[in-house]
A = this chain, B = another copy of it.
Amino acid sequence: MFDYTAPLRDMQFILKELAGLDAVGALPGCEDASPDLVAAILEEAGKFAAGVLAPINRQGDEQGCRLEEGKVIAPDGWQEAYTQFSESGWIGLSLPTEFGGQGLPKLVSTPVWEMWFSTNMAFTMLPQLNVGQAEALLIAATEEQKQTWLHKVVSGEWASTMNLTEPQAGSDLAATRSRAEPAADGSYRLFGQKIFISYGEHELTPNIVHLVLARLPDAPTGVKGLSLFIVPKYLVNADGSLGDRNDVRCISIEHKMGIHGSPTCTLSYGDNGGAVGYLVGQPNRGLETMFIMMNEARFGVGVQGAGLAERAYQFALNYARDRVQGRDAVTGESGKPILHHPDVKRMLLGMRARVMAMRALLYTAAGWFDFAHYSADKAVADKYRRYVDLLMPVAKGWCTEIGNDVCDEAIQVFGGMGFVEETGIAQFFRDARIITIYEGTTGIQANDLIGRKILRENGATLRELIADLGATAMALREDEALADIADAFAETVDALETATDWVLANGQDRIADVLAGAVPFLYLLGTVVGGWQLARAAQAARRRLVEGEGDAAYHSSLVELARFYLATVGPQAAAHAATVCEAGGALTRFDDSAF
């Protein structure tokens, strides 16, 4: 097991050079995000991640969770780590000061969460739920509800869950059956079963606040008949003290391939007369609010992809530097570490390139979030809101797929040792496998991208983004040393444009064919915007090199990193574009009975 080293240099480079940390820090309400404070926070988070979360990650995998007489027992170390985590105020980092948070921009909290995910994803899912729930309550809860619940959710004194899935309602929430009956006192009684509820039950906090989707008696069918309810594990008295146990219980936990430290619960509501719940927001509008929480969670899952990939990369790199095997292909020398083999270096450089592309994309998107949220310039805020909306499925879908690929390649670097659990890398591979599934599978993200984000507005925002990509290619050409990068990147943008034209031309008449290419389109867009970020990194690095500022070796390496990405991942853009345009026909003609 190798120690975790917070990648602070890479993080700082991206924050400052690509994601606009200075500009974000100048936004009204973001003044606290000074470079010094941000550096101090990242430093501190890196220590906490390496010193507290990383050391208990493997025992979480080995021990898993146990359900004993209705109680879920978390792995050793979880309680201490959670107490320290919440008491250090990490949960509220980006949440409003009014409710006990620190009110920092998302751009600052994103690298911090990346470090948590790198070092202990199963643990971090717990506080991550608080952040999502807080965002939902901030938007939809009444002032009284906020006072009752929000402070303790932000501080982490109480834990949070989100309850959507039911056995017959997975990706399709329209099939939700849980129901809520109004009670005389204005509250509700909930009945039904929810599955796949992360941290649905545990003893780590004195109370758990469930957010539950259910139907009111008179609700319309489909997703427009879902309402959202707060259902606490323990009722809360008027003075804030805990009252009776509510009528919700954990009836089983899943035996999963990964994230063993995170209990995945089946919760039964209302077996003894109904679980007391409180309506949040308007009746039948619950899904809209839940989507706020889910959007937060989706971005967070994208960050999980980058975080797991970073750690897997570190593991593989350390091993490749230690392990001596074989002879040098050129000199015939033996006794050198395997990093020296071109194929091993290829894997590691590919891992590094993709980690940096994901990270730069996610931080840039986090910056857009902040511009959208805080900018006083309506045009700026509006543009970045649209960019965030467009690229959210990519941030989630592409970064989780690539995160899996990187974890997979890390095992390959280890060879046989990677398949042995003691080595520790297998856990990352197993843990990562859930991230392309939960919070909406890659297919769901891709359908959202094609349907809601592109076709619904006839490609307007995507066209705007493509123009920005073209502008970057133009700007790259101004520096002759980057001309080859400009060309290679421009080729990927051309592929994106070709596929975009095709999707827009066929979105009406051949929607099934277009949706058959939805995931390839998502990969295509991810490939291009990932390359965009690395090309921008090369551009910024060259600026520093020309100015003779900073670490020249580091900056030179970023230029080669962009080249390597464009030579290895970049050519996939044209391949994905071809698939988008070509695959639907054969797929539609292939008769289902011939499978």
Contacts and interface: CB of A to CB of B under 8 A. Distances in A.
Interface string A584-595: 111101111111
Given A429-B257, A441-B415, A595-B348, A343 B575 contact: no
Interface stretch (A40-48, A269-277, A431-439): A431-439
A349 interface: yes
Nearest to A264: B420
Contact of A415 (B171, B339, B516, B595): B171
Given A346-B519, A412-B436, A437-B415, A430 B574 contact: no
Contacts of A429: 257, 433
A567 B554 contact: no
Interface string A312-344: 000001000000111101100010000111111
Interface string A298-316: 0000000000000000000
Contacts of A433: 411, 419, 429
A281 interface: no
A380 B117 CA distance: 58
A180 interface: no
A217 interface: no
A258 interface: yes
A219 interface: no
A333 to B, nearest CB: 13
B590 A349 contact: yes
B583 A346 contact: yes
Given A421-B256, A430-B257, A441-B412, A345 B575 contact: no
Interface string A344-378: 11111100100000000000000000000000000
Given A342-B512, A342-B516, A325 B172 contact: yes
B574 A560 contact: no
Interface residues of A, number: 99
A195 to B, nearest CB: 8
Nearest to A257: B426
Given A342-B518, A412-B442, A590 B575 contact: no
Contacts of A330: 511-512
Nearest to A595: B317
A443 B326 CA distance: 13
Contacts of A404: 408
Contacts of A165: 416
Contact of A583 (B341, B421, B564): B564
A238 to B, nearest CB: 39
Contacts of A420: 254-257
Contacts of A317: 595
Contact of A342 (B334, B418, B587): B587
B583 A560 contact: no
A513 B342 CA distance: 7
A196 interface: yes
**Majority SS of interface residues in chain A?**
helix
A563 interface: yes
Interface in A421-457: 421-422, 426, 429-430, 433-434, 436-438, 441-443, 446-447
A205 interface: no
A141 to B, nearest CB: 28
Given A583-B568, A586-B564, A339 B592 contact: yes
Contacts of A574: 571, 574-575
> Chain B CB within 10 Å — which of A422, A437, A518 has the most?
A437
A561 interface: yes
Contact of A567 (B334, B421, B566, B578): B578
A316 to B, nearest CB: 10
A339 B561 CA distance: 40
A330 B515 CA distance: 10
A546 interface: no
A418 B443 contact: no
Contacts of A288: none
A571 B579 contact: yes
Nearest to A442: B412
Contact of A594 (B196, B415, B557, B578): B557
Given A334-B174, A343-B519, A433-B429, A589 B560 contact: yes
A27 to B, nearest CB: 34
A352 B591 CA distance: 13
A170 B325 contact: yes
A553 interface: yes
A419 B264 CA distance: 11
A325 to B, nearest CB: 5
Contacts of A416: 165, 170, 196, 434, 437-438
Given A168-B324, A568-B583, 4 more contacts: A343-B519, A352-B595, A556-B591, A571-B576
27 contacts: A168-B324, A170-B416, A172-B334, A174-B327, A174-B334, A255-B420, A256-B420, A258-B419, A329-B515, A341-B443, A342-B515, A343-B515, A345-B587, A345-B590, A346-B519, A346-B583, A349-B590, A416-B434, A553-B591, A553-B594, A557-B591, A560-B586, A560-B589, A561-B590, A567-B578, A568-B582, A571-B579
